[in-house]
Structure 1
Amino acid sequence: MLGKTELLDAVAGVNRGINCSPSDRAAIQAAAVTLEGRNPTPDPLQASDRLNGDWRLLYTTSRELLNIDRVPLASLGPIYQCIRLAENRIYNIAEVNGPPLLSGLVAVAASLEPVSTSRVNVRFERGVVGLRQPLGYQSPAQFIQALQTTPKFSWLQGIDFAINPDRSSGWLEVTYLDDDLRIGRGNQGSLFVLQKV
């Protein structure tokens, strides 16, 4: 599709936005706006087959996510956003690469509340920070299952904490969705470009 190749090319060399110049940002923003104008799925929350699943982040303007890369002796690995519409849940999982046996994980779980056919309110409820090996992390899908069946991980596995949903909430709008690409915009003005895993 016209515009999709341009967007994918524009985000390819910026490491999710970590290595992004102002001109890169402008090019990505323009390519995203062009693609959003040609959205083949105007009611994405009705297209659960397309929206459901695990999405890998290709680009974001979210400083919260990109600042994870500032952890000493570590680098930001893949970031996933996993949508489970049947349960009205969303999971953000960031892998953190470090020295052997010290690779980590930052995960948050939230509830979704649809407010239109393209927008959901997001209420963050739980966070987990720890090393991948003690947490038994293998993949986003496997770890989400562990989150769903483990009310609280032991402190030997990591830090598992409740998040006050009244203080930590926002919204996410799906502005473009096809079979393998999604563009979203958040309440803090953030842009997200994701590819289905």
Structure 2
Amino acid sequence: MASAASWNTFTLNAPPAAAVAAGPPHVRRSSLALTALRLRSPISRSSGRFLSYPAPIRTRAVVDDDEWGKEGNGEPESGVAVVEPPVEELSEAGELKRKLMDLLSGTDRGLKASSETRAEIVELITQLEAKNPTPAPTDALPLLNGKWILAYTSFSQLFPLLGSGRLPQLVKVDEICQTIDSESFTVQNSVKFAGPLATTSVTTNAKFEVRSPKRVQIKFEEGIIGTPQLTDDIVVPDKVEFLGQNVDLSPFKGVISSIQNAASSVVRTISGQPPLKIPINNTNAQSWLLTTYLDEELRISRSDGGSVFVLIKEGSPLLN
């Protein structure tokens, strides 16, 4: 206790004003610095310890070794405050997003996720929703604008579509996305397919209305089957694995090439046609969507069926 008391006395008692005024300049500056330290870092009278406050910027003083300055110079060297750059750390939401992206990797938008992985994903989504930086997404419609790529869904009706990629040489889902235009209040859902010879897309166009700070009502107006676009020539492998056995395709390469040429001719003919538009007149073709998390690169939405959708803004580093 004696040492604590002597430390308090030393810190709190400033030197007499006359001594400060009479001393050399560096002594006056040191006394002022000591006084400033006393003002910035008060001491608890009960514990004798400094009460620390968080500082946004840390500084350190760089002082010349010669306290009187360099030789031949009447004025002493002044101290230089060097600002140390703050340590960059991920925010709590940023850390949760990173963990979520790690879990989603390799799940094929949720199709291949195990029950344990799904439980972890749901937990992370719930934590992110609790830290939603945009509590009223419909009041920040420009933030909703743009193309959003589907990274995960629990919507079971999409699983048969996603599962088509498991079958060899068949059409597979290349991309599922949603494009929002807040100026025209339109939503476009699109599924892009990739096949052996061509790519195409199926799109639904819809209008939306704002119903609450988080909810929009969606009414589908038309479906569009895109014109197939011819891909590059396919290189036929020598062998393929089918039902656990390696099948040699070398004897069939001539036949396969002939079929490919005929199919390419058909695709070229179709490619010259306009996309097929199908009006949706069913009054029941409506749904609502609740946005529960929204920032510049990540959006989490829930549908009227309770399904959850995790979408990433096109161009975001989260897609890498």
Work out the number of aligned pairs and report it: 177
Q: Which amino acid aligns with 2:277?
A: D
Moved runs in structure 1, 4+ residues, more than 6 A? none
Bigger RCO of structures 1 and 2 (CA < 8 A, at least 6 apart): 1
**In structure 1, how many angstroms separate the alpha carbons of the residues matched to 2:225 and 2:287?**
21
Structure 2 counterparts to residues 1-197 of structure 1, below 5 A: 1-71=94-164, 73-101=170-198, 103-133=199-229, 156-197=273-314
The share of aligned pairs that are identical, in percent, is 35
**In structure 2, how many angstroms separate the alpha carbons of the residues matched to 1:64 and 1:125?**
20
Q: Which amino acid aligns with 1:193?
A: V
> What displacement does 1:22 show?
1.3
Contact persistence 1:181–1:193 (CA under 8 A): yes
The CA RMSD over aligned residues, in Å, is: 2.0
> What displacement does 1:158 show?
4.2
Q: Which amino acid aligns with 2:211?
A: V
Contact persistence 1:45–1:118 (CA under 8 A): yes
**In structure 2, how many angstroms separate the alpha carbons of the residues matched to 1:23 and 1:164?**
41
* Bigger-Rg structure (1/2): 2
- After TM superposition, the score normalised by the length of structure 1 is 0.83
Structure with greater strand share of residues: 1
- After TM superposition, the score normalised by the length of structure 2 is 0.52
Q: What runs of 5+ residues in structure 1 fail to find an aligned partner?
A: 135-154
**In structure 2, how many angstroms separate the alpha carbons of the residues matched to 1:125 and 1:58?**
25
Contact persistence 2:142–2:182 (CA under 8 A): no
> What displacement does 1:165 show?
4.7
Contact persistence 2:227–2:273 (CA under 8 A): no
